[in-house]
Every structure is written in C-alpha cells, then in structure tokens.
C-alpha cells in the first residue's frame, strides 16, 4: 500500500503546518501505540525560519514513516532493526515517562539513591580494580555482567512497563541495544530527581540531547480537546486525589484557565507559563506559595496530560520563582506563644461550644506539642488509636484509615507522661468509640459531595481549621508561624536541644531521615518510649484543668 504523500504549508495564522493520514490497514495498531487514529499533524510557529521548519518537517515525516513501516513489519512478523536515532527517541520518551512517574511520588534524596542501589550492587560484584589514581574503577564486563546489569536496569527503570504501556514491540536485538544505551540515561534521570529532591526545578538540559519522537500537537481543540480546567477535571477523575488537594488546586486551574482565555493546552506556550507566574507574583501570594502550590499544581497536571499523549511538552517545566532562604528558626513558636496557647487550653469553655470542639481545644495542642505530629493527624484520632503497651507506657497510632496520613504510612508514637498526668487517658477511656474530636454523625460529615471538583472538607479538617482560627484569636499572629503546624517545628527543635537523636525525632514526626543507613536503624516503639523521657515538659501549670 502506498503511504499518502504530505507537504509543508502555511496555516491561516502563518504557522508552518502539515498533516499526514494514517493508512487504514494499520490504524488500529497505530492508535494502540500512539493514541492517534486518523492523522498526525505538524506545526511550528510562524516565526520559525524556513530552513529550520523544513528540517523539522523532514524529521517528522521520517519518524512517521518509520512508525508505519515498523507496524506493518511487526504484523507480518518481519520487523526491521530500528535505526539508532529511533532507539534514542524511544529512550527520550522513556526518560520523560520515568521522571514524571517518580516526581509524582515526591521522592526524598535517599529514596532516589535507593533506585540506583541494585545497579551499584552489580558494579561492586564485578569490580576488578578500585585503586586507580583518578578514583575510577574497572569492571569485568563479560556476558554474565551484562546479563545481570540488563536485568537490574530493566527492573529499576521500569523500561518493560513503559514499552508495554506505549504498545511498542521490539525485536530481541533492538531490546538488547536499548538496554545497552539505558544505563547512562538512567543515571542522568536519577541526577534530575536528586535535584528535584533538593528543590531545584531548573531546566533539564540533558533532555535536549534526545531526538524528537514524533508529531507536535497543533490546532488546539481538535488535537487535544482540553483547556486548563478540563485537564484538571480529567486528572481528578483518573487520579482521585485527596479532597484537600482538589480544594487547594481548584482555584489554581480556575485562575489559569481565565488567564489563558480558556484556550486549548496545545496552544499554551512557555511564554504563557512565565507570564502567568509573573502575574501571580504581582498579587498577594508569596514566592514560596507560588512555587509550592500554583506552579506545582500546573506542572503535575500538565505532566499527566503529557503522559496521555495529548501534548508534546510541558510549558511549566523549569518555571520557578527565585525565593531566598528563610531564617533557621522560621516556623517555631516563641516561648510566649507556647505559654499563651497551652494556658488557654485549660480555660473552661462555654456550654454552647460543642463537646467535641471543647475536647479538641483542650487536647490537640498538647498532643501536637508532645508528639510533633501533623495537626490533622491528631484531629482525626479515634478511641481505638490509643493503646497501652505491655511495658506500661501509652501509645498513639496514626493510621490512614482514620483520615489522611502523608504517604499513607502508619506510625506509632509514645505519649509523654505529662499528657497522661493531665488526664488524657481518662478522657479517652470515657469517650465513645470512634473519633475523639468530631461527631461522625454531624450533618457535615454525612453530606455527599455531588461535585467531585468541589468536595466537602472532612470533619477533622474542619476541626483543624477551627483550632487555627482559635489560636489566631489568642493573639498568636506571626505570619511566619502556622497556628497549628508550628508545633512540629517547636517539637523538633526542643527535642534537638534535649539531645534526642535525629532518627528518633524523625520517627515521632513521620519524617524520612537523611541517610540510607537509617533504613536499617528504624527505632522501635521501646526506643521512642525511652527518648520521650528526655523531652522537657512545657512549663505550664496544669493543676487547673477544664473541659
């Protein structure tokens, strides 16, 4: 069958434009592999020099014809060997896929390093000379080394999953050549992830080394069909994120969609992304908020859209506000604020205040102060989450089934004796089963969220916010300190001053430690029980206790 010819022309707006129909005999296979059925389209901005546009067009045509020939050959059982350029283009697609997959997990530095551990183990196994002058080492790169390395690389990189998801069927020879090239690209990808873990979202120049892998998105609606808000809606439907994420990001995409006049994602440029960032900085948002909420939300959702093969690049990659370093004590309550909050918890509340809210005001600040936990982890506590250890001390279990726990990882912390002496255990034992600080039968907790893009906030989140408002009314108004989250900073620093080991401080707060060895040195609950004995009591007179 003859492949229809195509030519480069000018669109009405001056852009360089071309379209190429997909032959009928391979449309099903092409759609499975590349997500397009009828035709591929090419576009370059009108300002692109003619020579550059023609070269890009020639590469695009060659790529498409290679795809078509490979699919036909695959159907006939006679797949040709892929040229090196196409193998590198496949690696470029994998590179984007792998980094996007790992960025969604928000990996720490040690977690990134652990991805390379299987490869490092192979290197160590086959080292023959590790004492060279320049610090390099030699490897015995025989057949067994290559077989083991390729197996570990395939597993660590997820290349087989990527190929399956992309619908790419490679000959054994091409798969072997791809794995030969993969190690260097895998290391480069990990270096990018290490920078991301350190907060560096600068441009990834290594990505520019890969050849273009296919058609560029064009003509707005017809090719993509989503504006910024519709992309967010589709992302929510597939990813089903936490209600708190939806509520926080909803305003981001409403604003972005308005700023871009509701145009299709394929028409949103790098310049648009920077202009939006500048617009945000001209408002009331801080640079840190723009980075951590607005730009992060846009980057994540656009990366997901890119994974769906709807856009060719993410205009928000590398867009970031330069934010100066903050003071080392930022976030910690002052001694005056600590005393003001904890003393206020002991004051009798009006009978018009619900018993659940009275209990939250009485106990949640103290729980946060003595455990370093996130405030939401405390407001979602249930009676069954408090337990006595066989050695006599009391424990508090933080579990995802009670509400939201970052990373969905359960943990256990030990209660300070001062909490027990104040009567917290008695309060728990007298409480009904279920949540301690909100009524699960209240109408707000039973309301169904008919709009998935505007979910009802969970009751424990509402309680957390009421506590924050209460703290602000006490006169704790430093905007550099969160009225609830400030307890985590305060706990961490008081524990450090008390010479409690970092791994123990991290275990209380649910933080990952900063070294690989800590994975093998996770403290036991008995270790935490010993450590909390060294945590100093808050100097507040609790002899007058009220609920």
DSSP letter string, 244-301: HHHHHHHHHHHHHHHHTTT--GGG--HHHHHHHHHHHHTTT--HHHIIIIIIHHHHHH
% of residues, the chain, pLDDT over 70? 84
pLDDT tier at 136 (50, 70, 90 boundaries)?
very low
Does the residue 329 lie in any domain? Answer: no
Cα gap 416→370, rounded to integer Å? 6
End residue of a domain, out of 61, 80, 99: 80
Query: CA 68, CA 83: separation in Å to the nearest integer?
Result: 14
- Same domain, residue pair 90 and 138: yes
What strands, in cross-sheet order, belong to the sheet with 411-414? 386-388, 394-398, 411-414
Residue 206 above 50 pLDDT? yes
Residue 467 has pLDDT above 90, yes or no: yes
Contact 209, 192 (CB under 8 A): no
278 shares its domain with 394: no
Query: Same domain, yes or no, for 476 and 385?
Result: yes
- The residue from 196, 216, 236 where one domain ends is 216
Domain count, the chain: 4
Question: What pLDDT band is residue 282 in, cutting at 50, 70 and 90?
Answer: confident
Q: What is the CATH number of the domain that holds 490?
A: 1.10.443.10
pLDDT for the residue numbered 201: 75
Residue 383 lies in a domain: yes
In a domain, 328, yes or no: no
Same-domain status, 388 and 473: yes
Decide if 319 is inside a domain: no
Q: What is the pLDDT of residue 53?
A: 82
What residues does 386 pair with on adjacent strands?
396
How far apart CA 433 and CA 382 sit, in angstroms, is 7
Residue 102's pLDDT band, with cuts at 50, 70 and 90, is confident
What secondary structure, in 3-state letters, does 99-134 show? Answer: HHHHHHCCCCHHHHHHHHHHHHHHHHHCEEECCCCC
The pLDDT of residue 547 is 46
pLDDT one-digit tens code per residue, 338-392: 999 999 999 988 888 899 999 999 999 999 999 999 999 999 999 999 999 999 9
Q: Which two tokens stand for residue 8?
A: 């480069």
Q: Which residues, in sequence order, are CB contacts of 72 under 8 Å at separation 6+? A: 25, 26
Q: Within 10 A of 376 (CB to CB), how many other CB atoms are there?
A: 22
- Identify whether residues 442 and 494 lie together within a single domain: yes
Q: Tell me which of 216, 251, 279 is where a domain ends.
A: 216
439-446: Cβ within 8 A, 24+ apart: 439/354, 439/356
Kind plus residue range of the DSSP H or E element containing 459: helix 459-473
Instruction: Calculate the dihedral angle through the C-alpha atoms of 52, 202, 224, 31, rounding to the nearest 10 degrees.
Output: 80
Helix 84-104 / helix 296-307 crossing angle, nearest 10 deg: 140
Query: Do 470 and 454 sit in the same domain of this protein?
Result: yes
Q: How many CA atoms lie within 13 A of 118 on its CB side?
A: 13
Domain co-membership, 195 together with 109:
yes
The alpha carbon of 23 is separated from its chain's Cα centroid by a whole number of angstroms, namely 40
Q: What is the mean pLDDT of residues 219-228?
A: 60
Mean pLDDT of 101-108: 79
Q: CA–CA separation, 380 vs 420, rounded Å?
A: 19
Q: Say yes or no: 95 and 133 in one domain.
A: yes
Residue of 117 and 133 predicted with greater confidence:
117
Q: Are residues 287 and 357 in the same domain?
A: no
d(CA 300, CA 232): 10
Q: ∠257-259-265 over CA atoms, to 5°?
A: 50
Q: What is the pLDDT of residue 378?
A: 94
Does position 499 have pLDDT exceeding 90, yes or no?
Answer: yes
pLDDT at 449 over 60: no
Q: Strand 386-388 to strand 394-398: parallel, antiparallel, or no bridges (unpaired)?
A: antiparallel
Query: Which pLDDT belongs to residue 414?
Result: 95
Predicted local distance difference test score (pLDDT) of residue 358: 93
The tens digit of pLDDT for each residue in 427-441 reads 999 999 999 999 988
Confidence band for 513, pLDDT divided at 50, 70 and 90: low
Q: How confident is the model at residue 493 (pLDDT cuts 50, 70, 90)?
A: very high
Instruction: Name the token pair of 373.
Output: 């936990």
| Residue 17 to residue 10: CA distance in whole angstroms | 5
- Mean local confidence (pLDDT), 142-167: 81
322/441 Cα distance (integer angstroms): 46
* Whether residues 194 and 242 fall in one domain: no
Question: What is d(CA 387, CA 219) in angstroms, rounded to the nearest whole number?
Answer: 61
CA–CA separation, 100 vs 96, rounded Å? 6
Q: Is the pTM of this model over 0.75?
A: no
- Residue 479 domain-assigned? yes
pLDDT surpassing 60 at residue 214: no
Do residues 194 and 201 lie in contact, with contact meaning Cβ atoms separated by under 8 Å?
Answer: no
Q: How many CA within 13 A on the CB side of residue 166?
A: 23
DSSP character for 416?
P
DSSP collapsed to 3 states, 124-164: HHCEEECCCCCCCCEECCCHHHHHHHHHHHHHHHCHHHHHH
369 within domain boundaries: yes
Of 45-54, 79-88, 500-509, the poorest mean pLDDT is in 79-88
Residues 257 and 406 both lie in one domain: no
User: To the nearest whole number, what is the mean pLDDT of the chain?
Assistant: 81
Do residues 373 and 412 make contact, with C-beta atoms less than 8 angstroms apart? Answer: no
* In a domain? residue 547: no
Task: Give me the domain span that covers residue 176.
Answer: 84-216
Sign of CA dihedral 532, 536, 541, 547: negative
CB 78 within 8 A of CB 45: no
In this model, does residue 48 exceed pLDDT 90? no
Residue 166 vs residue 244, higher pLDDT: 244
482 within a domain of the structure (yes/no)? yes
Nearest residue to 414 (alpha-carbon basis) of 518, 519, 535, 545: 535
- The verdict on 171 and 227 lying in the same domain is no
Tell me which of 191 and 123 has the higher pLDDT. Answer: 191
The yes-or-no verdict on residue 167 having pLDDT over 70 is: no
CA distances from 381 to 21, 385, 416, 503 (A): 59, 6, 17, 24
Residue 313, classified by CB atoms within 10 Å of its CB into exposed (0-12), middle (13-18) or buried (19+), is middle
Closest CA to 538 of 309, 370, 325, 363: 370
């Amino acid at each position: 069958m003859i492949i229809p010819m195509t030519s480069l022309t000018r669109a009405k707006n001056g852009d360089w434009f071309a379209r190429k129909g997909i032959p009928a005999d391979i449309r099903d296979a092409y759609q499975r592999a590349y997500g397009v059925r009828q035709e591929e389209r090419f576009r370059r901005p009108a300002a692109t020099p003619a020579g550059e546009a023609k070269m890009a067009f020639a590469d695009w045509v060659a790529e498409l014809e290679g795809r078509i020939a490979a699919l036909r050959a695959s159907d006939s059982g006679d797949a040709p060997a892929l040229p090196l350029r196409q193998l590198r283009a496949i690696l470029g697609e994998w590179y984007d896929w792998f980094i996007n997959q790992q960025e969604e997990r928000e990996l720490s530095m040690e977690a990134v390093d652990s991805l390379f551990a299987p490869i490092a183990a192979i290197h160590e196994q086959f080292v023959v000379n590790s004492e060279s002058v320049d610090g390099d080492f030699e490897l015995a790169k025989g057949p067994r080394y290559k077989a083991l390395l390729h197996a570990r690389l395939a597993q660590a990189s997820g290349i087989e999953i990527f190929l399956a998801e992309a619908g790419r069927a490679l000959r054994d020879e091409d798969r072997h050549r791809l794995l030969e090239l993969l190690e260097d690209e895998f290391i480069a990808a990990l270096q990018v992830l290490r920078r991301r873990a350190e907060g560096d979202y600068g441009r990834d120049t290594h990505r520019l080394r890969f050849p273009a892998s296919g058609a560029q998105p064009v003509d707005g609606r017809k090719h993509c069909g989503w504006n910024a808000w519709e992309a967010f809606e589709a992302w929510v439907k597939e990813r089903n994120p936490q209600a708190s994420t939806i509520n926080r990001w909803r305003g981001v995409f409403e604003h972005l969609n308005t700023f871009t006049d509701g145009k299709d994602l394929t028409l949103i440029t790098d310049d648009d992304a920077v202009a939006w960032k500048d617009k945000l900085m001209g408002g009331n948002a801080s640079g840190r908020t723009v980075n951590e909420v607005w730009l992060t939300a846009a980057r994540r959702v656009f990366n997901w859209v890119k994974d769906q093969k709807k856009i060719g690049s993410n205009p928000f990659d590398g867009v970031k506000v330069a934010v100066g370093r903050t003071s080392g004590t930022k976030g910690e309550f002052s001694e005056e604020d600590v005393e003001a909050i904890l003393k206020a918890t002991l004051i009798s509340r009006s009978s018009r205040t619900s018993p659940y809210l009275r209990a939250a005001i009485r106990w949640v600040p103290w729980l946060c102060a003595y455990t370093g936990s996130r405030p939401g982890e405390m407001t979602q506590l249930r009676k069954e989450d408090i337990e006595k250890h066989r050695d006599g001390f009391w424990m508090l279990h933080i579990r995802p089934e009670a509400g939201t726990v970052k990373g969905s990882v359960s943990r256990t912390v030990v209660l300070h004796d001062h909490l027990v002496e104040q009567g917290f255990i008695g309060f728990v034992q007298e409480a009904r089963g279920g949540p301690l600080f909100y009524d699960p039968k209240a109408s707000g907790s039973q309301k169904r969220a008919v709009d998935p893009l505007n979910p009802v906030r969970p009751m424990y989140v509402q309680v957390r916010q009421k506590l924050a408002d209460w703290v602000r009314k006490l006169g704790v108004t430093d905007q550099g300190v969160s009225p609830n989250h400030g307890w985590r900073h305060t706990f961490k620093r008081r524990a450090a001053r008390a010479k409690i080991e970092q791994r123990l401080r991290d275990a209380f707060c649910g933080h990952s430690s900063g070294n690989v060895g800590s994975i093998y040195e996770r403290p036991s609950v008995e270790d935490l029980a010993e450590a909390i004995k060294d945590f100093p009591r808050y100097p507040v007179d609790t002899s007058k206790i009220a609920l």
